[in-house]
């Protein structure tokens, strides 16, 4: 497990000269209509179990003409001529827990952390962020922005966030080059607005407070923007079907639909915030089609909805990740965006921060989510401490980077590198293209970046080394996928 003190991991030093789209900011320029692999090479970057390779650059492989492959030859076929969704961004959640852990680190480690996540050249180039409206489980304590029974919201204030979270987010934006696509999600309305009278344990929004609650989103957005933090969008409610021991609030699909069309959407529009992107559902893949269809089949609700957000925790039932449900939504509502809004490995154990399965879970989800049409992918806490917190209800979890406040060091789990194989090399504005594998143990996705370069991700979760050919337009390179590895091939 690499622990870093005083300098960035060696891998970043080796990437300083990277001149491809992998190391550049996104560009609004249109991609060229035609693509030719002639004269191009594939630069490979690898992270592999049982080795020191972490986003490690390998040789540049030259394409050469290739005949029809045999069925016995393992291949991954790339077709840049077939394009699909456009990438919004990849990133993580900037929570109270992350901000408080960050504040407890030495200044040098803080700067290392910001560069490691947000620099597209020296880090993994995060371009997307999520934060929460008032408290969530990953806060040190529960809190609200308004006084008890203040129906007019005259007492509204985000002063609580000014100690840790707002300065943290502003530093992240600066580290990302001044732009970070950020959206916000509420875990609960104030308790007095709910049927159970408290912030925790579910409950529902009382009908008489729907307008006040809609105005609460507006006040949050304007308060953050007044402090120099642009809010790109918002989700209606985090995990709207989960009655949790922490901050939570329940909406049926019909209740969420009616709140969007009758209150939230019109209130945003009347407040001059009609351009903010509204994300519905924001819960697991299992019920996402039912939620999406209930809302999107109503034109008055659908006109306010930019996308359907989802999490990966449906596995609590014993089910595998239900990627097919993403495809059902994309097939039925092709003009509505899909966005992964949260995922993490639960039940933190410091002894397991080196566990290879942490990263493989991310790689497996990201490949399949992007292939299902997802435009944005947001990890949960971007940073947690050596306890997997702070968390005021003991719901301790893993983060890709652990800030050990006992030693002042940053500990990079392999999940950080697995995410980096996507976020560093696939930039905002990239379009997904065809990447087709002839073996199910080699999973793959591919994108064409705004500068025309192609990034192909190959995931091997098997115990076996696998030679294969990367082929496009009648040309190929021969390469090998290490067991339990992830590799990105940048064709430029």
Beta-sheet pairing, 454-460 with 401-404:
unpaired
Q: Which of 12-26, 142-156, 227-241, 266-280 has the lowest mean pLDDT?
A: 12-26
Burial of residue 159 (CB within 10 Å: 0-12, 13-18, 19+) is: exposed
Length of the chain: 492
CA–CA distance from 260 to each of 194, 210, 235 (Å)? Answer: 17, 10, 10
- Let me know: does 278 contact 264? Beta carbons within 8 Å: yes
Summarize the confidence of residues 318-327 as an average pLDDT.
98
Strand order in the sheet with 384-385: 3-4, 409-412, 401-404, 384-385
* pLDDT at residue 429, rounded to an integer: 98
Residue 231 has pLDDT above 50, yes or no: yes
Rounded Cα gap, residues 4 and 403, in angstroms: 10
330 pLDDT more than 60: yes
d(CA 408, CA 110): 10
In whole angstroms, what is the distance from residue 186 CA to residue 326 CA? 23
Report the pLDDT averaged over residues 7-20: 38
For residue 257 the two structure tokens come to 């639909």
Residue 34 has φ and ψ, to the nearest 5°, of -105, 155
Query: What is the mean predicted confidence (pLDDT) over 7-18?
Result: 39
Chain centre distance of CA 231: 16
Task: Tell me if residue 133 falls in helix, strand or coil.
Answer: strand
Domain annotation for the chain: domains and CATH numbers: 41-84+434-491 (2.60.40.1180), 89-428 (3.20.20.80)
Joined tokens for residue 384: 């947690």
Confidence class for position 16, pLDDT limits 50, 70, 90: very low
Q: How does pLDDT run across 426-462, given as a tens digit for each residue?
A: 999 999 999 999 999 999 999 999 999 999 999 999 9
* CB distance 137 to 395 below 8 Å: yes
In the residue annotation, 342 being an active-site residue is answered as: yes
Strands (E) located in 153-264 = 181-186, 233-235
User: Which one, of 462, 456, 400, 381, lies nearest residue 426 by Cα?
Assistant: 456
Residue pair 432/370 in contact by the 8 Å Cβ criterion:
yes
Q: How confident is the model at residue 487 (pLDDT cuts 50, 70, 90)?
A: very high
Q: CB of 263 within 8 A of CB of 209?
A: no
**Terminal alpha carbon distance of the chain:** 32
Average pLDDT of 100-109?
A: 98
Mean pLDDT, rounded, of the chain: 94
What pTM, to 2 d.p., does this model score?
A: 0.93
Q: Looking at residues 163-188, what average pLDDT do you find?
A: 98
Q: Token match 């991954």: residue?
A: 76
3 state DSSP class of 174: helix
Tell which residue, 424, 491, 452, has the closest CA to residue 22.
424
User: Hey, is 370 helix, strand or coil?
Assistant: helix
Strands, sheet with 56-62, edge to edge from the N-terminal-most edge strand? 56-62, 41-48, 485-491, 454-460, 442-448, 431-437, 75-86, 466-472, 475-481, 64-65
Phi, psi dihedrals of residue 404, rounded to the nearest 5°: -80, 100
Residue 18 has pLDDT above 60, yes or no: no
Helices (runs of H) and strands (runs of E) counted in the chain: 12, 22
Listed residue (279, 260, 273, 302) closest to 378, CA to CA: 279
- What single-letter DSSP state applies at residue 264? I
DSSP letter, residue 32: P
Q: Which of 100, 112, 239, 360 is catalytic?
A: 239
Q: What is the DSSP string of 181-249?
A: EEEEEES---GGGBTTSSSBS--BB-GGGHHHHHHHHHHHHHHHHHTT----EEES-TTTT---SSB--
pLDDT of amino acid 57: 98
């Amino acid at each position: 497990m690499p622990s870093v003190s005083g300098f960035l991991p060696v891998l970043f030093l080796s990437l300083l000269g990277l001149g491809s789209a992998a190391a550049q900011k996104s560009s609004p320029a249109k991609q060229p209509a035609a693509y030719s692999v002639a004269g191009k090479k594939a630069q490979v970057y690898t992270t592999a179990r049982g080795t020191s390779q972490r986003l490690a650059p390998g040789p540049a492989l030259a394409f050469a003409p290739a005949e029809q492959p045999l069925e016995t030859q393992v291949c991954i076929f790339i077709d840049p001529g077939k394009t699909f969704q456009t990438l919004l961004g990849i990133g993580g959640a900037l929570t109270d827990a992350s901000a408080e852990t960050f504040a407890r680190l030495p200044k040098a480690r803080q700067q290392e952390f910001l560069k490691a996540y947000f620099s597209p050249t020296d880090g993994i180039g995060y371009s997307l962020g999520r934060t929460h409206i008032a408290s969530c489980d990953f806060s040190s304590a529960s809190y609200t922005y308004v006084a008890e029974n203040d129906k007019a919201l005259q007492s509204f204030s985000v002063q609580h966030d000014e100690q840790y979270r707002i300065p943290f987010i502003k530093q992240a934006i600066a580290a990302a080059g001044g732009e970070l696509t950020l959206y916000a999600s509420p875990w609960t309305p104030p308790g007095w607005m709910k049927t159970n009278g408290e912030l925790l344990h579910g409950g529902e929004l009382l009908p008489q407070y729907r307008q006040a609650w809609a105005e609460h989103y507006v006040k949050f957005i304007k308060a953050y923007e007044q402090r120099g933090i642009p809010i790109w969008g918002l989700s209606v409610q985090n995990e709207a079907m989960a009655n949790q021991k922490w901050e939570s609030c329940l909406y049926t699909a019909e209740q969420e639909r009616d709140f969007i069309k009758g209150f939230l959407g019109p209130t945003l529009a009347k407040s001059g915030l009609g351009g903010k992107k509204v994300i519905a559902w924001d819960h697991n893949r299992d019920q996402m089609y039912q939620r999406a269809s209930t809302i999107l089949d109503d034109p008055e609700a659908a006109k306010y909805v930019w996308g359907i957000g989802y999490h990966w925790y449906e596995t609590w039932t014993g089910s595998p990740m239900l990627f097919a449900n993403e495809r059902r939504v994309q097939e039925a509502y092709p003009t509505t965006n899909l966005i992964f809004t949260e995922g993490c490995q639960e039940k933190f154990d410091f002894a397991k921060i080196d566990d290879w399965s942490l990263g493989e879970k991310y790689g497996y989800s990201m490949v399949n989510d992007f292939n299902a049409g997802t435009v944005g992918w947001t990890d949960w806490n971007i940073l947690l401490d050596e306890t997997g917190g702070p968390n005021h209800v003991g719901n301790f979890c893993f983060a890709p980077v652990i800030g050990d406040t006992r030693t002042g060091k940053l500990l990079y789990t392999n999940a950080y590198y697995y995410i980096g194989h996507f976020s560093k090399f696939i930039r905002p504005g990239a379009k997904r293209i065809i990447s087709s594998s002839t073996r199910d143990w080699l999973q793959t996705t591919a994108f064409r970046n705004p500068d025309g370069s192609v990034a192909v991700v190959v995931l091997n979760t098997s115990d076996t080394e696998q030679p294969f050919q990367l082929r496009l337009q009648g040309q190929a390179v021969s390469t090998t996928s290490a067991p339990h590895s992830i590799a990105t091939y940048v064709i430029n």
